[in-house]
Structure 1
Amino acid sequence: MKYGSLILEKKEYVYLKRILNISGYAENHETQKCLARLLEELRTAQIVDDDEMPYDIIRFNSKVTITFDNGIKETVQVVIPTDRDINTKKISVLTPMGSALIGYSEDDIILWNFPNGIQKIHISKVEQEGSYNGIDITI
């Protein structure tokens, strides 16, 4: 991990903690396990102001290109749950993939237990498409 731990912007961190603490949010057990791991990682995350956020950190609205161990490349955008749209590859932070990516940085390699088993993914590119800074993110 490039920065030693997850890095999250303060408002995004508060929002994420709030939605993760809603009991029974995930529909299935495997997704719940992914969200529990994210909650555990948040305990040691670096929480910073927006102007201190490194540009290559995955946050809400980031477009992320990932490469799987089998060579398949995929570009997704990590968004808040209400903005998810599988047709435009906007994935909710509450999905297994979204929870695996948030707070990591470009060039990080993640081993994550997805519903179909443990996978190794390389974050090859992070692009910022704007943030939710200054916007009241409510559930």
Structure 2
Amino acid sequence: MSASSVIPTVSALDHERLQRVASAGMQIRRLPPSAKFLASELERARVVSPASLPPNVISMHSVFDFQDGITEQIRRAMLVYPGEEDAGAERISVLSPLGAALIGLAEGQLFPWRSATGVRRTLQVIRVVHQPERANGHGDHHVGAATAVT
């Protein structure tokens, strides 16, 4: 995984929760690279109040479309906490390499990342379809399963 010049924007609520997730991930899984990467992304993140989070930024439980730079496939997914992931429903854990790369990205941004198998990839956020902060003001809103974009 590599750092990017893109500074992620994260709500204060997500930032606090994700710091605990990254810390627990590093302890339980004996320092998985994705937990360390998530922690480093949080360290450099621009933290804003939930009400100030731009509507085009991926937050926890956001539904979004993104494009894989290798396959050029556009996928719709939801960013979730560990234990909520479901590959068939395109629910991506923030503790996965892809999830850690997605948090705080805005529409149009490109981000280099390294897959769990070590392959260097690039993704681009196409569109934020649903953002909980905009739906109810505090980021606890859950929506149905994400789907593949056809």
Same fold (TM over 0.5): yes
Give the equivalent residue in structure 1 for 2:37.
Answer: 37
| Amino acid in the other structure paired with 2:130 | Q
Deviations 1:63-113 (A, max 9, x none): 121111231121110012232222211111111211110111110001001
Superposition RMSD on alpha carbons, in Å? 2.2
Match among 11, 21, 28 for residue 25 of structure 1: 28
Q: Percent identity?
A: 21
8 Å CA contact 1:5–1:44 kept in 2: the answer is yes
Match among 13, 16, 34 for residue 14 of structure 1: 16
Deviations 1:27-73 (A, max 9, x none): 8x7xx212212211211211111110000110011112111123112
TM-score in terms of structure 1 length: 0.82
In 2: Cα distance, 1:108 partner to 1:19 partner = 24
In 1: Cα distance, 2:40 partner to 2:94 partner = 15
In 2: Cα distance, 1:19 partner to 1:121 partner = 23
Give the equivalent residue in structure 2 for 1:112.
Answer: 113
Moved over 4 A (4+): none
| Amino acid in the other structure paired with 1:67 | Q
Gaps of 5+ in 2: 141-150
8 Å CA contact 1:66–1:73 kept in 2: the answer is yes
In 2: Cα distance, 1:37 partner to 1:57 partner = 19
| Amino acid in the other structure paired with 2:77 | V
Q: 1:72 to 1:48 in 2, by over 3 A?
A: same
Q: Please state whether the residue corresponding to 2:39 is helix, strand or coil.
A: helix
Gaps of 5+ in 1: none
> Do residues 5 (structure 1) and 7 (structure 2) align?
yes
8 Å CA contact 2:113–2:120 kept in 1: the answer is yes
